[in-house]
A = this chain, B = another copy of it.
């Protein structure tokens, strides 16, 4: 890639970014977007968004988006710090050294715009040059800085997590345990078995339990009702906005006929739902229950000490947040889950293969000559300089990004099939899948097979974030006709993380080879920081809070990134005929792994469970608080399957437009 092509791409992207930010600033106050971007909190006026994002403190973010939101923002803070250091080192030291090298050719400033950007890369430093020790030191310094920042951030977030626990209101999930594989003898109900067992072995702390029921049929009926309801809503909306116009689209049926028909079907389905809900004998008990305790420590006892002599019975685990429970999980049988796992395994492999084919095709696009051969009728257009630069420098990454934007939803589908009790579990698993997929396909298959620098364009799409959020989110939100928090989408942290980490991965691993990209990565993270700080406040509402449980994923990926950087650096010094530097780099990955092991021991347990110290302190603190009796009485019904809750909807109310189940 030559410098002028890079400049064109940068210019284009910057222009797009400014344009979109301006459009966002202008349009967010007008209908239909005003409703979407209206501040969720009444006290926050529709102020200029950039300074507002800057002014808000972490406590504000905590209040609006929970600890998950805070930790998500910390990813950007951490990345900005890392890449600020990297940019200083890379652009301030390595870039001049590279450019003043003479491996590629004599310095000649006259024709600068048409020089290859390889001039700024380590390739330009003479083989075996003493200057390479600067690069060597940079690897050590950068590793030290990153590890220090990682440690600092892990510690900070761990403290936040403990602080959050100690200051939180009593939450149902802290007092509740999910019990599975309940053994039932003939003639005894699951409910009786649970009651007997916990009264026997946890007499002092046991409070109540909710047995899970088979609600697959009920859920299908509710789905039907919701679909009909949506159709009705659309019909009414079309009618309202265009008067009698819809009549012509409806063919033989008049508007009122169709409305009446849907209304009738809706009433039938609702009657069925009410029947199913009221008749408990129709529902089959599932050998699983949510068991609640009088104290957090009591619940912890039931989770961490095996309950039964037979380890496959009375299996206990943390109960998820009531809004986080993935109810369909309980309606699938063990065998179904087992088969689903196998199917997912095969499908994952197929997905990677298909994606690699697509990547191979896209790689072809970067070679203009090949493209001309494929599409001879475009030959004339492709000969125009700007068009050719657009096609080689821009189109491949757009196609890749377009295709890879579908991968997260596929991964989420896979994780859903695998069987998780909670939505956050599904999302975390999908996030991990996505990371692995990204690293294998985009990073290893795409970037490492091409030359390192020809892929720098991947960094030149910071416009992607504002455009995505400014365009897609309103479209999603517009579906919710009445604006309230329960309808606002939940921030898709887990699907954003792999994307963000990929930038970090590319940025750090190319640190030595091509420092030119570092400022772009820094700009990306700064932009991301502001944007996410703002659309956390106004667009998203947290459905549940995992307490930043996704941070270890970020930590592990950064460690992986560092080791990849070390391996690349070892390779580079080998090629550059400085084998001593290669050998002296060998301890670095080992030290990095030891650092990781230390962090794993020091911090990871905090993300998995709370300690006796915290649990007992918190229990004692709240023991005599006046609100506890009310909390416990609510706790008894907190884990009722939402499909069994009576619907608050009256089917005759015309105002009614929201979907049937607010909480599902």
Contacts and interface: CB of A to CB of B under 8 A. Distances in A.
Interface of A: 162, 200-201, 297, 300-302, 304-312, 601-606, 609-616
A305 B312 contact: no
Contacts of A301: 301, 305, 612
B312 A601 contact: yes
A247 to B, nearest CB: 62
Contact of A613 (B309, B603, B605, B615): B309
Contact of A602 (B304, B311, B610): B311
A309 to B, nearest CB: 5
A348 B605 CA distance: 32
Nearest to A297: B305
A199 to B, nearest CB: 12
A598 to B, nearest CB: 9
Given A602-B311, A606-B311, A306 B201 contact: no
21 contacts: A162-B309, A201-B613, A201-B616, A301-B301, A301-B305, A301-B612, A304-B304, A305-B609, A305-B611, A305-B612, A306-B609, A306-B612, A307-B612, A307-B613, A309-B611, A309-B613, A309-B614, A310-B602, A311-B606, A311-B611, A312-B602
A311 B603 contact: yes
B311 A612 contact: no
Contacts of A162: 309
B602 A309 contact: no
A651 to B, nearest CB: 48
Contacts of A309: 162, 606, 611, 613-614
Given A201-B616, A613-B201, A616-B201, A300 B305 contact: yes
B611 A308 contact: yes
Contacts of A311: 601-606, 611
A606 B307 CA distance: 11
A305 B605 CA distance: 11
A613 B308 contact: yes
A182 to B, nearest CB: 14
A307 B611 contact: yes
Contacts of A306: 605, 609-612
Given A306-B605, A307-B612, A309-B611, 19 more contacts: A162-B309, A201-B612, A201-B616, A297-B305, A300-B305, A301-B301, A301-B612, A304-B305, A305-B612, A306-B611, A307-B611, A307-B613, A308-B613, A309-B613, A309-B614, A310-B602, A311-B602, A311-B605, A311-B606
Nearest to A197: B613
A162 B612 CA distance: 28
A164 B342 CA distance: 40
A308 B603 CA distance: 12
Contacts of A305: 297, 300-301, 304, 609, 611-612, 615
A7 B651 CA distance: 93
A160 B601 CA distance: 35
A203 to B, nearest CB: 10
A346 B279 CA distance: 70
Contacts of A609: 305-306
Contacts of A616: 200-201
A307 B605 CA distance: 11
Contacts of A601: 311-312
A609 B604 CA distance: 23
A526 B301 CA distance: 47
A297 to B, nearest CB: 8
Q: Closest 7 interchain pairs by CB?
A: A311-B605, A304-B304, A306-B611, A307-B612, A305-B612, A304-B305, A309-B611
A614 to B, nearest CB: 6
Contacts of A310: 602
A568 B309 CA distance: 39
A249 B162 CA distance: 74
A241 B611 CA distance: 66
A434 B108 CA distance: 67
Contacts of A200: 616
A610 to B, nearest CB: 8
Nearest to A603: B311
Contacts of A603: 311
A307 B604 CA distance: 15
A603 B606 CA distance: 29
A606 B313 CA distance: 12
Contacts of A297: 305
Contacts of A300: 305
Contacts of A304: 304-305
A162 to B, nearest CB: 6
Contacts of A614: 309
A309 B612 CA distance: 8
Contacts of A605: 306, 311
A548 to B, nearest CB: 16
A352 B610 CA distance: 44
Contacts of A302: 612
A216 B603 CA distance: 33
A342 B1 CA distance: 48
Nearest to A616: B201
A305 B616 CA distance: 12
Nearest to A161: B309
A308 B300 CA distance: 14
A601 B310 CA distance: 10
A612 B309 CA distance: 8
Contacts of A610: 306
